[in-house]
């Protein structure tokens, strides 16, 4: 007896349509088209038919088999696409999401301070002159009017590289190099750079630090030009309301020599911890270039005059930002560096 082929077909197709997972496909195939599947059973049923019914029924079963095979192929394809769509939806790359931020670097606090100093002097027409960090004893001291026996050598504790060769203790030797290169022309330069001193490292002193030197040589340069230049710089660097104070001082390479202070920008001169309750902060040393130094640089002191100044870089940055220990500048601790 042949089973009802049309209900067999409806059942088979409706079950096939419900398959979502690729794992269920072989299960369906075994149940319907496999060796012990429903259709094979139907074929077996053909044996019970009369000889005249058998060919027609056989044809119908074979046709159904063909249809189910085709439906299976189609479903297999559809399920594959379903799986692909699901995996795309699940693990999708959303290109509209914001990216993960990269941690960017930035300029060191010393570099930023140096750049600001360069910019202010640049606006006043000063060029930058670079001089070497390894210097001769002669240029670092002798030509700056500090002969070997001079007690002023005690002002700079020196790293000696070799006999007669030092790590520069200040940027002042650059004055000699610059004058020797450009004489007999007027000069207006700053000389920024690293200096070294054989000193104990403490919260207030490092054995390497930056200075910015200044040098102006001309035919009618006076102390007034020096004061005006320092005033302009201080106001631009530390605020328009700053006041300057000049004190007589001594440096072997300038005569007369002064030290320049400004009123403390933290307490506006009232007195605080930063200015040690004096109300004043040191800007730098300065003076009129000593005739001996002019001569050593190739300028006739009867014809030329000039001023010079020298200032620290880390110290003002420390004051400005309330940094209590100069050692942070070189310790490369990102927690410190990222604050600026």
Return d(Cα 189, Cα 242) in angstroms, integer: 24
Site string for ligand DAH, 241-260 (x = CB under 6 A): ----------x--x------
State which H helix or E strand residue 323 sits in: none
Asked whether position 285 contacts ligand DAH by CB under 6 A, the answer is yes
Site string for ligand DAH, 35-74 (x = CB under 6 A): ----------------------------------------
Q: Which is nearer to ligand DAH, 79 or 176 (CB)?
A: 176
Return d(Cα 198, Cα 157) in angstroms, integer: 5
Return d(Cα 104, Cα 209) in angstroms, integer: 26
Q: Which residues of 205-219 are buried (b: 16+ CB within 10 A; e: fewer)?
A: ebebbbbbbbbbbbe
Q: Which is nearer to ligand DAH, 113 or 254 (CB)?
A: 254
**Which of these ranges, 104-112, 129-137, 201-209, 306-314, lies near ligand DAH under the rule CB under 6 A?**
306-314
Q: Which residues of 117-139 are buried (b: 16+ CB within 10 A; e: fewer)?
A: bbebbeeeebeebebeeebbbbb
Return d(Cα 114, Cα 110) in angstroms, integer: 6
**Which of these ranges, 38-46, 81-89, 177-185, 303-311, lies near ligand DAH under the rule CB under 6 A?**
303-311
Tell me which of 308, 313, 317, 318 binds ligand DAH, using CB under 6 A.
308
Q: Which is nearer to ligand DAH, 269 or 285 (CB)?
A: 285
Residue 195 β-bridge partners: 209
Return d(Cα 79, Cα 190) in angstroms, integer: 77
Q: How many amino acids of this chain bind ligand DAH (CB under 6 A)?
A: 11
Q: Taking the complex as a whole, how short is the minimal distance between the CB of residue 189 and ligand DAH, in angstroms?
A: 12
In the complex, the residues that contact ligand DAH under the rule CB under 6 A are 170, 172, 213, 251, 254, 285-287, 308-310
């Amino acid at each position: 007896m042949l089973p009802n082929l049309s209900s067999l077909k409806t059942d088979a197709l409706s079950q096939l349509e419900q398959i979502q997972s690729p794992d269920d496909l072989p299960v369906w195939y075994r149940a319907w088209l496999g060796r012990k599947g429903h259709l094979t059973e139907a074929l077996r049923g053909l044996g019970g038919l009369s000889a005249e019914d058998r060919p027609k029924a056989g044809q119908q079963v074979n046709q159904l088999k063909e249809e189910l095979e085709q439906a299976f192929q189609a479903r297999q394809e559809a399920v594959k696409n379903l799986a692909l769509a699901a995996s795309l939806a699940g693990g999708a790359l959303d290109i509209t999401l914001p990216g993960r931020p990269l941690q960017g670097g930035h300029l060191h606090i010393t570099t930023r301070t140096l750049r600001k100093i360069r910019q202010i002097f640049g606006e006043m027409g000063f060029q930058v002159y670079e001089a070497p960090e390894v210097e001769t004893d002669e240029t670092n001291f002798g030509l700056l009017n500090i002969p070997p026996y001079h007690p002023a050598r005690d002002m700079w504790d020196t790293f000696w590289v070799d006999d007669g060769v030092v790590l520069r203790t200040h940027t002042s030797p650059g004055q000699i190099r610059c004058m020797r290169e450009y004489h007999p022309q007027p000069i207006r330069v700053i000389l920024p750079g690293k200096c070294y001193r054989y000193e104990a490292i403490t919260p207030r002193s490092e054995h390497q630090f930056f200075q910015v030197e200044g040098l102006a040589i001309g035919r009618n340069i006076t102390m007034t030009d020096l004061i005006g230049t320092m005033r302009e710089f201080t106001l631009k660097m530390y605020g328009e309301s700053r006041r300057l104070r000049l004190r007589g001082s001594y440096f072997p390479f300038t005569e007369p020599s002064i030290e320049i202070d400004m009123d403390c920008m933290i307490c506006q001169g009232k007195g605080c911890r930063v200015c040690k309750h004096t109300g004043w902060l040191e800007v730098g040393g300065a003076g009129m270039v000593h005739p001996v130094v002019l001569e050593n640089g190739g300028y006739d002191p009867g014809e030329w005059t000039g001023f010079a100044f020298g200032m620290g870089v880390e110290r003002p940055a420390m004051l400005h930002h309330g940094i209590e220990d100069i050692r942070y500048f070189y310790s490369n601790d990102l927690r410190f560096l990222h604050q600026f």
